Amino acid sequence: MPLNDLDPDGIDKAAKACEEKGCVIVYGGPVKKINETNGGESKRTLIVSDTFITFVKKPLFPSLSHTRSWSDLVSVKTIDNNGL
């Protein structure tokens, strides 16, 4: 069975890319990122670590986007009971 079948959302690769930056992963899972400019949605992996929170694009070749360290966090907006 190909590796992609075991991890279709690329969560393991996303977590590994973040761990290589020296952090401890607290949570990783698939999410829909709401685009800031047009309100559309994009599939991403959300990684929450002990030092930062980030979206990860491209499951086969992970790249971090919208990465924020916890010291930079100024607010959290609750959309509903199931999301932020």
**pLDDT 10s digit of each residue in the chain, 84 long?**
444 556 767 788 888 888 998 899 988 888 888 888 898 888 888 898 989 988 888 766 778 888 888 887 677 666 666 655
pTM above 0.85, yes or no: no
Q: Nearest Cα to 51, choosing from 67, 74, 31?
A: 67
Residue type, 78: T
**R_g (Cα) of the chain, nearest Å:** 13
